[in-house]
Amino acid sequence: MTTPHESADLHLNIGGYALDALDPADRAAFEAHLAACPSCRNELAGMAETTGLLAASQRVTPPARLRSNVLAAIAITPQLAPLTSSALEQPAIDASPDAVPPGSASGIAAAADAPGSAADAAPTTEHPASNVIAMTRRRAPTATRLLAAAAAVLALVAGGLGWRNATLSNNLQQAQVTAAEVTSVLTARDAKTTTTAVKGGGSAAIVSSASLDQAVLVADNMAPAPAGHVYQLWLISASGDARAAGFLDPNSVGQGAEVLAGSINQAKTVGVTIEPAGGSTSPTTNPIMAVPA
């Protein structure tokens, strides 16, 4: 079996990607590949038109009240800034969870959408995080704890115990993929660790590798999410677009790790919010943690 990082294997995942049939790690790997592969982008465009027709063949008229709900909602919902404008100049994201404007419907998005500019988000900046001043992070003091947590995670994953109770084969496969992803990020030569306290208790570290274009969230002693809620992970771009990057498995809050689905290099901020079970399409609560990507 080939590793997920081999190009041929990545290219073969194009069908699964077009059908949204990849697990988060494979999805992230393929998106990284896509960014550098014009032929895949070209092929994907045709597949997207095809799946668009698969969707169009299943039209079901929604209840009329949805229309009034949505039209009422858009009247008070701001639109994202276009990508082509000078909106690439973005404000510094204060990583302190308490810095988000209270009452904001969407803390992360609001913070990232705010006008103004302090940090240059140009892709040539190797470590955009270093430009951000208002940032609470600790590196060395928690390194040992982090490594211990990571080791525990790897042991858990390697044992395949309680990681994801899907079908047995899927479980094993997922565990192997996850373990490989986590290991590759944690051991990457350019791995960069940012640790932060988590609102509600415990701490978390984001370990990211620019060369792998991936990041892992390592949770340490976090409290379980409130009943009926989940910890949802977000990758927020320089332009303020919060992209869902998966969930922190409830079994992992005490000590565990999750690979963030999506490109870390395209993200400016990594955040976690508490969302209703099932997750949300964009953050609906203030983040319990947010750190520069």
Partner 1 sequence: MDSRSGSPRRHLSLVSGVGEALPSGSRNVAERDTVWAVTPADSLSDVMLRVAKGDEQAFADLYDAVAGLVHGISRRVVRDPAQAEEVTQEVMLEIWRKATRYSPAVGSVQAWVATIAHRRSVDRVRAAQAATDRDLVAGTTGSMAPSTPYDEVAETVDLHLETERVRQSLSKLTELQRESIVLAYYGGHTQSDVAALLGVPLGTVKTRMRDGLIRLRDALCVDLNAEGVRP
Q: How far is Cα 80 from Cα 288, in angstroms, rounded to an integer?
A: 23
Which residues make beta-bridge pairs with 270? Answer: 235, 291
Classify residue 131 by its DSSP letter. G
Residues 54-73 that bind partner 1 (CB under 8 A): 54-63, 66-67, 69-71, 73
133 is an interface residue for partner 1 by CB under 8 A:
no
Phi, psi dihedrals of residue 202, rounded to the nearest 5°: 80, -175
CB 106 within 8 A of CB 242: yes
CA 284 to chain centre: 15
CB 168 within 8 A of CB 240: no
* Count of residues making up the chain: 293
Q: Which stretch binds partner 1 (CB under 8 A): 9-17, 117-125, 126-134, 180-188?
A: 9-17
158 is an interface residue for partner 1 by CB under 8 A:
no
Among 5, 35, 81, 154, binds partner 1 (CB under 8 A): 81
Per-residue binding letters, 37-56, with partner 1 (x by CB under 8 A): -xx--xx-xxxxxxxxxxxx
Among 86, 115, 133, 168, binds partner 1 (CB under 8 A): 168
Size of the site for partner 1 (CB under 8 A): 73
Residue 196 Ramachandran class (φ > 0 left, ψ -120 to 50 alpha, else beta):
beta
Among 4, 135, 247, 271, binds partner 1 (CB under 8 A): 247
Token pair 């525990």 in the structure block, residue: 152
Token pair 């002693």 in the structure block, residue: 221
Per-residue binding letters, 176-205, with partner 1 (x by CB under 8 A): ------------------------------
124 is an interface residue for partner 1 by CB under 8 A:
no
Q: How far is Cα 293 from Cα 129, in angstroms, rounded to an integer?
A: 7
Q: Which stretch binds partner 1 (CB under 8 A): 132-140, 142-150, 196-204, 277-285?
A: 277-285
21 is an interface residue for partner 1 by CB under 8 A:
yes
165 is an interface residue for partner 1 by CB under 8 A:
yes
Q: Which is nearer to partner 1, 173 or 221 (CB)?
A: 173
